[in-house]
């Protein structure tokens, strides 16, 4: 008998005491009035946009009743009632986010960096260290892209599996209690059309992890009804083949009405217990939900819903049905419920006003300071009339925001450019102080600001002696990974072909047999959820390496990396971290889909991650060591053509580190600097040798990491010496080579030291053609480097270096 059949046949056994039921009613009313008042605040111009959880209250309360300390939520922007029921969101915080209040104490989920409805608990202490996650209600930080919460949900549940099956993890008591934690996911019915949802469902069924997915089904995706979204118009029917049987594992699938209080309690308690004890994934399809205010403040649902549908939604509103349930069971009188609602409404109004007072009061204080300083500076200015007018207009601004204040001050400083008085200096000092504050409010924590930042990890040089073995590059990595698996129970690796065969290039060869299949694991072909699996596990204190087999396939997981992982520390202002390491390989090999170097794409989309581009496997091992000592997410792009090249095996394989953000000078020279990375290092070094033989001494610099990029200004110092520079790489024109040029020419201000135009030497604009000839004619060759350098030297000294 399925769980669904049990629920239908059995009398609910999870009905709370009357006082608890009335408390649930109170929470539902608070949440509903927060939604209603929130919409009005947007229309009054006090907030930019609003999206609310009205219509979903009852199911979310039931979910909260099944949630336990240590559990994790990965949901979406309509889960306000759940967060309120858990005590992790109060009304004042709710409105603080609506107003985008940048005070992290008042708006702890995102410090005003996200639009309303994005929820998160703070997993970290102020210094960036982990809290005891087993004693908290945990909510992974929400993101807006539809269904993008699902891959991370898989990882949160997968961590529980690891905590249960890996004996070495038993001592990690601040992260898990024997893997008993359930990962609770929520998603709207329309978003189940996304590939990320289906990929996550399939992976969870394969892995058998404690994951409960709740689908809030109000039958629409903005204006599009369910028949255009889902096969059979029902996601639970479409996924019926995932239902587990006595013979084969799978999902437990439960259907329940979003207005039926007792059935909801039963469904969520059954689901939570099953997932928690047996690690069976469960899907709860919550049908017949409503959306009283429509999708968001961007439009009205009266435009696309029929009168009959709108009337039905009023009659079957979950709070109305809950009220009827309470009255029918004589748990309270109508007057008592009216009083609860009135008190809830008054409470919401009071907290809303307090949130607005705090938010607007801080800005009005800054506004008044700016007005006074502008007027003071105007007294002795030739532009007094215009400056006074600016100040007066600012003073009259209705519902001012910080932009109004700062924009006016900047205009005033422009008007004061010819003046020299104490008032101008005071205004300028005030503006500079505000710049510091606003950097913290709006731009801090893109990268870790803790003591575990990659920039603060001490360098430990690799040690060699006369007995150091000379081995294939892949064996250096193999020795490193073996060491980490032996010494760090939090460390594990997974991906396509990583387990049994030890990855396609053998860096994990034999390590699954030695350390177990839960430490070195195979996955199916599913890059998106490989990334999500890693993000979720890292959010729970583990140190995963998620492998993307080839760099070209990163595109499948790019959205998760960009929208979720790369922005996590930023969008929580240091409240959460997920130090996932993504291991992949690229650069030189063969063909359109196995020789990629899309570094410009990575640089544009993955700000917030460290981007390592090692030239060999020893350097890669040192980078992994550094990353595992840090608390930042990273991608490491190993060189495809380097696994069989010979390298010396460091004696301190588990300890040596490579400093990140610090380029290495591979060859000193006086005539020209070439800046490169990865597989191009060998090409450029070979070219430098040829150039030396004809009298041109090139300085070759390996950047080592593209993010962070040369924080010490090493490249700039080289250019000051050589007065010429080429940025060479295998990306398309205008990609990483252009990024490096901008970082050095603009960031390190070396233009004045150049005696020749700065140059780039990228690959062709198309992807690499197949075969060795395709490689030669698609990407920079030794001859390309030689000729590029020679051409620049010909311009300098045509007599010594005549035209070719």
Q: Which residues are identified as catalytic?
A: 594
Whether residue 242 contacts residue 250, with contact meaning beta carbons closer than 8 Å, is answered with yes
- CA separation for the pair 507, 501 (Å, rounded): 9
Residue 646: other Cβ atoms inside 10 A:
11
Would you call the peptide bond into 708 cis, given omega within 30 degrees of 0 as the criterion? yes
Whether residue 657 contacts residue 622, with contact meaning beta carbons closer than 8 Å, is answered with yes
Chain mean position to CA 328: 47
Whether residue 464 contacts residue 650, with contact meaning beta carbons closer than 8 Å, is answered with yes
Structure tokens of 526?
Answer: 């599913």
Structure tokens of 506?
Answer: 């053998």
**What are the helix (H) ranges across 44-143?**
57-66, 80-85, 91-99
Q: How far is CA 705 from CA 498, 548, 580, 663, in A?
A: 25, 19, 17, 8
- CA separation for the pair 376, 360 (Å, rounded): 24
Instruction: Count CA atoms within 13 Å of residue 201 on its CB side.
Output: 28
Q: Residue 521 forms beta bridges with which residues?
A: 494
- CA separation for the pair 94, 53 (Å, rounded): 12
Burial of 470 (0-12, 13-18, 19+ CB in 10 A): exposed
Q: Which residue has the tokens 């394969």?
A: 206
**601 φ, ψ (degrees, to nearest 5):** -60, -45
Q: Which residue has the tokens 């980490």?
A: 484
- CA separation for the pair 334, 324 (Å, rounded): 9
Q: Residue 185 forms beta bridges with which residues?
A: 74, 213
- CA separation for the pair 55, 31 (Å, rounded): 10
3-state secondary structure 668-682: CCCCEEEEECCCHHH
Q: Residue 667 forms beta bridges with which residues?
A: 700
Give the residue from 153, 213, 208 showing the smallest Cα distance to 189: 213
- 284's CB contacts (< 8 A; 6+ apart) are 212, 213, 214, 215, 254, 255, 256, 267, 268, 271
In terms of phi and psi (left: phi > 0; alpha: psi -120 to 50; beta: otherwise), the region of 342 is alpha
Whether residue 688 contacts residue 669, with contact meaning beta carbons closer than 8 Å, is answered with yes
Structure tokens of 169?
Answer: 């993890």
> Starting at the edge strand that comes first in sequence, how are the strands of the sheet with 252-257 ordered?
138-139, 72-74, 183-188, 211-216, 282-287, 252-257
CA dihedral 423, 429, 434, 440 (to 10 degrees): 180
Q: Residue 639 forms beta bridges with which residues?
A: 586
Whether residue 651 contacts residue 716, with contact meaning beta carbons closer than 8 Å, is answered with no
Q: How far is CA 489 from CA 165, 541, 546, in A?
A: 12, 11, 16
SS3 416: coil
SS3 658: coil
Q: How far is CA 577 from CA 447, 571, 668, in A?
A: 10, 10, 40
Burial of 413 (0-12, 13-18, 19+ CB in 10 A): middle
């Amino acid at each position: 008998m399925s769980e669904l059949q049990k629920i239908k046949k059995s009398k609910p056994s999870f009905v709370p005491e009357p006082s608890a039921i009335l408390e649930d009613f109170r929470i539902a009313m608070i949440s509903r009035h927060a939604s209603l008042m929130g919409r009005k605040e947007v229309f009054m111009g006090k907030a930019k946009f609003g999206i609310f959880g009205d219509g979903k209250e009852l199911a979310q309360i039931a979910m909260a009743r099944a949630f336990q300390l240590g559990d994790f939520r990965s949901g979406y922007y309509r889960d306000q009632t759940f967060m309120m029921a858990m005590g992790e969101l109060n009304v004042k915080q709710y409105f603080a986010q609506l107003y985008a209040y940048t005070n992290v104490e008042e708006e702890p989920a995102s410090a005003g960096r996200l639009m309303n409805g994005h929820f998160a608990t703070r997993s970290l202490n102020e210094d960036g260290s982990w809290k005891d996650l087993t004693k908290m209600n945990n909510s992974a930080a929400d993101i807006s892209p539809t269904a993008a919460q699902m891959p991370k949900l898989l990882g949160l549940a997968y961590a529980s599996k690891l905590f249960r099956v890996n004996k070495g993890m038993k001592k990690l008591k601040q992260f898990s209690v024997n893997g008993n934690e359930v990962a609770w996911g929520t998603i709207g019915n329309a978003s189940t059309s996304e590939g990320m949802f289906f990929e996550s469902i399939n992976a969870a069924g394969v892995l058998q992890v404690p994951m409960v997915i709740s689908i809030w089904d109000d039958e629409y995706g903005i204006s599009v009804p369910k028949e255009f979204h889902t096969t059979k118009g029902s996601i639970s029917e479409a996924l019926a083949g995932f239902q587990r049987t006595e013979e084969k594992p799978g999902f437990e699938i439960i259907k329940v009405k979003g207005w039926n209080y007792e059935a909801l309690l039963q469904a969520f308690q059954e689901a939570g217990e099953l997932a928690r004890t047996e690690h069976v994934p469960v899907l709860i399809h919550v049908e017949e939900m409503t959306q009283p205010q429509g999708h968001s403040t961007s439009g009205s649902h009266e435009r696309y819903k029929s009168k009959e549908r709108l009337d039905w939604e009023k009659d079957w509103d979950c709070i109305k049905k809950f009220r009827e349930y309470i009255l029918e069971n004589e748990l309270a009188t109508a007057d008592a419920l009216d009083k609860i609602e009135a008190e809830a409404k008054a409470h919401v109004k009071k907290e809303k006003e307090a949130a607005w007072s705090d938010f607007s009061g801080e800005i009005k204080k800054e506004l008044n300071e700016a007005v006074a300083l502008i007027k003071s500076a105007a007294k002795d200015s030739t532009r007094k009339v215009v400056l006074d007018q600016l100040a007066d207009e600012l003073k009259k601004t209705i519902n001012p925001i910080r932009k109004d204040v700062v924009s006016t001050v900047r205009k005033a400083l422009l008007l004061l450019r010819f003046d020299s008085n104490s008032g101008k200096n005071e205004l300028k000092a005030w503006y500079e102080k505000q710049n510091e504050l606003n950097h913290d409010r709006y731009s801090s924590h893109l990268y870790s600001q803790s003591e575990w930042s990659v920039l603060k990890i001490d360098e430990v040089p690799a040690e060699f002696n006369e007995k150091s073995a000379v081995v294939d590059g892949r064996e250096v990595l193999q020795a490193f990974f073996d060491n980490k698996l032996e010494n760090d129970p939090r460390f594990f690796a997974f991906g396509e072909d990583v387990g049994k065969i030890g990855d396609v290039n053998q860096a994990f060869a034999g390590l699954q047999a030695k350390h177990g299949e839960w430490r070195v694991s195979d996955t199916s072909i599913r890059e998106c959820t490989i990334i999500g699996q890693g993000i979720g596990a890292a959010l729970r204190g583990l140190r995963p390496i998620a492998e993307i087999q080839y760099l070209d396939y990163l595109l499948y997981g790019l959205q998760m990396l960009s929208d979720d992982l790369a922005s996590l520390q930023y969008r929580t202002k240091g409240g959460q971290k997920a130090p996932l390491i993504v291991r992949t390989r690229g650069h030189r090999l063969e063909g359109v889909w196995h020789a990629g170097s899309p570094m410009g794409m990575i640089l544009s989309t993955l700000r917030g991650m460290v981007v390592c581009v090692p030239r060999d496997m020893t350097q890669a091992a040192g980078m992994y060591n550094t990353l595992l000592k840090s608390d930042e997410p990273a991608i490491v792009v190993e060189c495809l053509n380097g696994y069989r090249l010979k390298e010396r095996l460091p004696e301190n394989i588990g300890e040596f580190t490579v400093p990140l953000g610090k380029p290495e000078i591979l060859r000193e020279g006086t005539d020209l600097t070439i800046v490169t990375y990865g597989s191009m290092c060998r090409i450029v070094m070979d070219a430098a040798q040829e150039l030396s033989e004809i009298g041109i001494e090139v300085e070759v610099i390996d950047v080592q990491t593209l993010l962070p990029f040369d924080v010490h200004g090493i490249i700039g110092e080289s250019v000051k010496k050589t007065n010429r520079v080429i940025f060479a790489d295998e990306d398309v024109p205008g990609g990483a080579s252009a990024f490096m040029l901008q970082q050095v020419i603009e960031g390190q201000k070396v233009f004045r030291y150049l005696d020749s135009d700065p140059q780039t030497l990228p690959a062709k604009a198309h992807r690499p053609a197949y075969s060795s000839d395709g490689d030669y004619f698609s990407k920079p060759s030794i001859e390309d480097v030689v000729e590029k350098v020679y051409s620049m030297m010909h311009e300098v000294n045509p007599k010594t270096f005549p035209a070719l």
